[in-house]
Structure 1
């Protein structure tokens, strides 16, 4: 795979305005369809807007204890901003650049569901197939379907709390997916089909099911159904051998050791090199900001599916929380935030979020190189950036569409400050 050090999303989508990307179903060749990205103005966003965006990123980095971030904002009617900010670590002179790769965390869930829907559209698997048909040792999930695993409606718990210590302390450990999922499977269940429940175990099981149904490994499935059709040359699910994110150079990833009452902010632990098996088909994929932006833009518009696909993926979302905002919903491996579709999450060393509006192609993506605060700061930063950029005026000769978000930049600026890690001085020796 050849690495392109500076691939601008706007160059891709600008050229594609007149020429569609032809995406062909690879498994049998029966479904041929096309996706044309929206035309992107080939210009930078106004300096005033960029200054606001950069300030937001730097404030979020401080709150998260991150030394660096990579961010991309694509406003088709106005311009783009793609930037690496900060350095590779505290005291490091190596600046973060926009071409560095990183772990995309829970954005992987979207790709796993892409494979499920791609195989279903090709007639190779049934969305409503019971999980035990393809995964051994989970007979008690006979009433749970593969679609439930994708939608987060399987009723099973998450392995994160039980496995987090192992991930951080032994990043090179190679996990078996079912072994990792067992932590979530061991929790009390909720009724399937009815409510959304954030479950990494569900996506691990879905990956196993897809492997068994296809006879292919998960990395090859993601390549066939996602990265190859969209031309994402810098995106992949790496092998389980411990390694830095690919391609090189990689953004360094770290976390802060916990101390009573907070964290030791003076001694970040580097976990750049780790096994992708800790995330597998839940959070194991690595990418670059340009690829991530292009992917989530196509994903929101369902560019990987034929127009005649019977089962619509994002049409029936459920509220993320019963007492939460009505505009924050989930289905199909995605979160639906107002009109935007995307994902956010963390994996050791990184917190990543990416969202796009399917009607306009408006897209934001960001990663922070410290996972101490979990996914909330990255999520809130993506939403803050979206709120700022959504107000940008149209470039000369362009017309801004009617596009609004159900929140303000100030709202999530405040939330980020509330989520800031608390630094505690280590005890004197």
Structure 2
């Protein structure tokens, strides 16, 4: 297996609308070089007057169009199971499940199932960091070397550059020895310091701040910063400082391989032979602060809104978070553990066996959440991207996610 086969993919997402949403509610299974930073699409919590009128009422007719589009994506991608939710105040909601949660038993996907959320974890880690910024414990422009020894360019790389993917540090999940270690024993844990060893044997890729380059190494370091300044293990930091204040009940930062019950089985082709296998019991410790968490539909809906609107942060800190650096595609930008893609704010996640896409569109105060139990690419594209594109092409044609046709790198 080549290094590119083990990945926490570059795509990202987060967003969900809070509060009760107006009828009609449609639920149930369906059959069958550094560039200048720019502000995010909006101050997330303050949509432009009148723009939400462009979002359609989620009538049965619109639901039928969404059903047809999503069934088509299911057929084309071969995704075993999917959960899709869409909510907008005053416009209604759309919630559907497709396919199976377990290929062996044929059990259907249902809305209460847990999945691994991959890089969506980054939004929790960076939020925990920013809460420490608000408390004055750390500063975004502190060098990482103040907290963690032995980091290449550690006296120059700032916490801001780590959170914004502009450190230049090599992505450990692209290291061949790491890949060999993971493929040989995916159920065994890997310690954070071991992950850094895989990265630090490589030279820095570029000067700190010079450009955007997505690297899971950045988040491992931020996790260690949080442990150092709080004196608590990271899973406790995330639980007490983010999950509980956000009011989430189905979200966990695991300390082992077990998923919360009930859960969907996850399927991946990230194997030496390329054959798809059940990866449900693979230990996510290799992703740690970059991608180890698990959640469900309701929590991702709530978290997406909390994340995009900055409910847990001071307004000035949220404004810093939403200042984005171009990722190389017009209309896309990456902030501090968050993205803005065609106006949709959040972060997606992909880890062997699972993908999620929770995003929030401030203009319409709309939330979209996609959960899948596979990360297998379809013609080089993330399946969650294709689901998001199918939905937004219908409901927000002026804000189609992702609005381009990139080839997803099979990388960390």
2:84 maps to which residue? 71
2:355 maps to 1:368? no
User: Which residues in structure 2 correspond to 1:195-234 (within 5 Å)?
Assistant: 195-234=211-250
2:257 maps to which residue? 242
Contact between 1:69 and 1:366, CA under 8 Å: does it hold in 2? yes
**Taking structure 1 as reference, are residues 132 and 360 closer, same or farther at Cα in structure 2, changes over 3 Å only?**
same
Contact between 1:172 and 1:273, CA under 8 Å: does it hold in 2? yes
State the SS of the aligned residue for 1:140. coil
1:28 maps to which residue? none
Please point out which of 113, 119, 125 is paired with 2:132.
119
Please point out which of 308, 312, 327 is paired with 1:320.
327
Please point out which of 85, 98, 101 is paired with 2:114.
101
2:58 maps to 1:51? no
CA deviation digits over 1:309-351, x for unaligned, max 9?
Answer: 3572344311112xx2x21111111111122211123111112
State the SS of the aligned residue for 2:244. helix
d(CA) in 1 for partners of 2:326 and 2:180? Answer: 30
d(CA) in 2 for partners of 1:75 and 1:105? Answer: 26
Structure 2, unpaired ranges of 5+: 1-15, 23-43
2:195 maps to which residue? 180
Moved over 4 A (4+): 35-38, 257-260
How far is the alpha carbon of 1:306 from its aligned partner?
2.5
Contact between 2:82 and 2:99, CA under 8 Å: does it hold in 1? yes
Contact between 1:300 and 1:340, CA under 8 Å: does it hold in 2? no
User: Which residues in structure 2 correspond to 1:302-321 (within 5 Å)?
Assistant: 302-307=310-315, 309=316, 312-321=319-328
**Taking structure 1 as reference, are residues 291 and 329 closer, same or farther at Cα in structure 2, changes over 3 Å only?**
same
Pick which of 75-84 and 141-150 moved more.
75-84
d(CA) in 2 for partners of 1:197 and 1:36? Answer: 28
**Taking structure 1 as reference, are residues 303 and 358 closer, same or farther at Cα in structure 2, changes over 3 Å only?**
farther
1:171 maps to which residue? 186
Please point out which of 384, 409, 412 is paired with 1:378.
384
CA deviation digits over 1:201-230, x for unaligned, max 9?
Answer: 111111111111111111111122221111
1:346 maps to which residue? 350
How far is the alpha carbon of 1:170 from its aligned partner?
2.4
1:30 maps to which residue? none
**Taking structure 1 as reference, are residues 383 and 142 closer, same or farther at Cα in structure 2, changes over 3 Å only?**
farther
d(CA) in 2 for partners of 1:210 and 1:146? Answer: 11
CA deviation digits over 1:95-135, x for unaligned, max 9?
Answer: 11010000111111111110111011011112111112111
- Return the TM-score normalized by structure 1: 0.76
How many correspondences in the alignment?
A: 361
Contact between 1:168 and 1:348, CA under 8 Å: does it hold in 2? no
Pick which of 87-96 and 363-372 moved more.
87-96
Higher relative contact order (CA 8 A, sep 6+): 2
Structure 1, unpaired ranges of 5+: 1-8, 17-34, 392-403, 422-429
Contact between 1:71 and 1:84, CA under 8 Å: does it hold in 2? yes
How far is the alpha carbon of 1:71 from its aligned partner?
1.6
State the SS of the aligned residue for 1:51. helix
d(CA) in 1 for partners of 2:294 and 2:154? Answer: 30
